[in-house]
Copies of this chain bind each other. A is one copy, B any other.
């Protein structure tokens, strides 16, 4: 299987699929092609969320604000999974999640084990046919040739077999210093009893509805009625319909993180939050 992720909209991903079909008849599955444009961090967040659901596969992810510059094209092995992406860090958070899963047989394996099972290669792409569409000219063909080099694909291969197959490919060489990207963890302030009283988090992504996805785990607000978001008192709700149209709410998204939303409206505007902004969440009148 080859999964495809981009910020291209349509019809560009179809061109990538056409190219892939010249190399392999492996199944192609779209992850998303409407990710925030040019935002490797948002892509890293979503891929870390989605890819661990898949059996081992080749994942081609092109969110590439550096297209046309001399940034490298990267192949990252994580267990038996293979990510193909520009060298801007987006592959690293999902790679660590995938390697942890391989090493431990479950999500959230320990970091040391993860890192031993992640290795990165640079793709020698020669002279791409275009300066602007490396999804078609560099990343899709690389993903397709890697898939074609693995009999039965990643799902039928051990991490060692995948590693050897990649090492044997002429156009791959070890990446000396791939760009890393670490999705920030929130910091939790606790009272003298050790109970949490406030969380200092960060906006990871804005989705297409304007919902503001933070890095604050949902369990920190579940069961509460009100919290202050950057000082503004906001109801905690399980569904949008719990507040009137146009009203703000805080909820836990399907990804498990705290979201700042507006019923029938856009949370990014109402809360004035953009990716990378910090979000301070304090429980109102009760310790958080």
Residues of A within 8 A of B (CB): 1, 3, 5, 8-12, 14-19, 21-22, 25, 27-35, 37-38, 46, 49-55, 65, 68, 130-133, 135-136, 207-209, 218, 222, 238-241, 252-256
Contact = CB atoms under 8 A, between A and B. Distances in A.
A136 B54 CA distance: 11
How many copies of this chain sit in the oligomeric assembly?
A: 3
A33 B135 CA distance: 20
A240 B38 contact: yes
A49 B239 CA distance: 28
22 contacts: A5-B11, A9-B34, A9-B208, A9-B209, A10-B31, A10-B32, A10-B35, A11-B31, A11-B32, A11-B46, A12-B50, A15-B49, A15-B53, A18-B54, A18-B55, A21-B54, A28-B29, A65-B241, A130-B254, A131-B222, A132-B254, A133-B256
Contacts of A68: 238-239
Contact of A51 (B9, B10, B18, B54): B18
A14 B30 contact: yes
Q: Residue among A3, A17, A46, A218 with the most chain B CB within 10 A?
A: A17
